[in-house]
Amino acid sequence: MPWKGIRDPYRIWLSEIILQQTRVDQGEKYYLNILKHYPNIQALAKADEAAVFRLWQGLGYYSRCRNLLATAKMIVEEFEGRFPENYQDILKLKGIGPYTAAAISSFAFNLPYAVVDGNVIRVLSRYFGHFQEADTTTGKRFFAELAQECLDPKHAGLYNQAIMDLGATVCKPALPNCPECPFKKTCFAYQQQKIKELPVPKKRAAVIERDLHFVVLENKSHLLIKRRSGRDIWQNLYAFPQRDDDVLMANKLNPSKKQAPDLILEQTLTHRKIKGHFYRIPVTRKPQALIDSDHLWVPISELSHFAFPRLIISFFQKLNYL
């Protein structure tokens, strides 16, 4: 891992944000790419927001990107570019919760705060044989206290790195390599053959289906895209105006409910199954009425300048636009 052994809080911060709910293999190239464009927090703070989102495209959990920008600006403007050096102040930053605050505190400043992530929960629950559910308030508190007791306060960074490495490489979720584990002799789960029962799995919300009706206004060279805002999914990414969008209504280009879509594409997420209905409407020129700053009439050749969710990229690929 390219961030291993780094003490620069900026790089640690960036890597930890990227690795939230994201595998090392998946996040690594994003980390290197973003670091190449923005080698320090000053560069990131004055970055063009859309450009950073473009680099983030495909990683998921886009609020991380938004908070990353906000925190970079905050640190540069309020703290003269110096990363806060104590846990409580680090925890206050946007996008940084207990895990990331402990990671930065211990890796960058060797402060005695134990990280608690999926790896740590797994290792501790198996080793000690604790059947608490980790996604409840009491369960979280329990594992946080246990982790803090296990921490070697003199070597917090090393300890945190070690227990997460153990979880990632030996004490894996499925098929852990117990015979090679240095703790096998005193591990509850291994000795009692409870590996498959620990950790106790989280309750999982049902996957709900959702239909999105996208209207693609296009001529030979251009099409209309819309920046997504509000509280909905894919904030700050670009897609198309949806059926009943004000601009479509104002230009009398809204497809009727009876009209069949030209294309249907699906994308399954952790908690949603998105069904995208695409209605292609040929137009001769850019629609005029009610166009605001979120609606962009862009050349097809310049689509790569914008960040889109996977579903929309699939649409473009289907049409050979990308």
Partner DNA sequence: AAGACGGGGAA
Partner DNA sequence: TTCCCAGTCTT
According to DSSP, residue 8 is labeled -
41 binds DNA (CB under 7 A): no
The rounded distance, in Å, linking the Cα atoms of 138 and 3 is 33
Nearer to DNA by Cβ, of 141 and 305: the residue is 141
Q: Where are the alpha helices (DSSP H) in 95-245?
A: 98-109, 118-128, 137-150, 156-169, 188-192
318 binds DNA (CB under 7 A): no
x/- binding map, residues 59-78, to DNA, per CB under 7 A? xxxxx---x-----------
x/- binding map, residues 207-226, to DNA, per CB under 7 A? -x------------------
Is 16 a known active-site residue? Answer: yes
Indicate which single residue of 8, 28, 85, 165 sits in contact with DNA (rule: CB under 7 A).
165
The rounded distance, in Å, linking the Cα atoms of 128 and 189 is 8
Helix (H, G, I), strand (E, B) or coil at 21: coil
The rounded distance, in Å, linking the Cα atoms of 313 and 15 is 26
163 binds DNA (CB under 7 A): no
The rounded distance, in Å, linking the Cα atoms of 150 and 254 is 61
276 binds DNA (CB under 7 A): no
138 binds DNA (CB under 7 A): yes
Helix (H) or strand (E) holding 276: strand 272-282
Q: How far is the CB of 220 from DNA (least distance, A)?
A: 28
Nearer to DNA by Cβ, of 275 and 286: the residue is 275
101 binds DNA (CB under 7 A): yes
Q: Which CA distances in Å does 182 have to 38, 127, 170, 177?
A: 40, 11, 9, 10
Q: At what angle do helices 9-18 and 63-78 cross, to 10 degrees?
A: 160
Query: What is the distance, to the nearest Å, from the Cα of residue 144 to the centroid of all Cα atoms in its chain?
Result: 23
Nearer to DNA by Cβ, of 250 and 269: the residue is 269
Q: How far is the CB of 154 from DNA (least distance, A)?
A: 21
Query: Among 115-123, 219-227, 280-288, 295-303, which window interacts with DNA (CB under 7 A)?
Result: 115-123
Q: Residues interacting with DNA, by CB under 7 A?
A: 1, 4, 15-16, 19-26, 58-63, 67, 94-101, 103, 117-119, 122, 136-138, 161, 164-165, 167-168, 173-175, 201-202, 204-205, 208, 231-235, 267-272, 309-311
By annotation, the residues acting in catalysis are 16
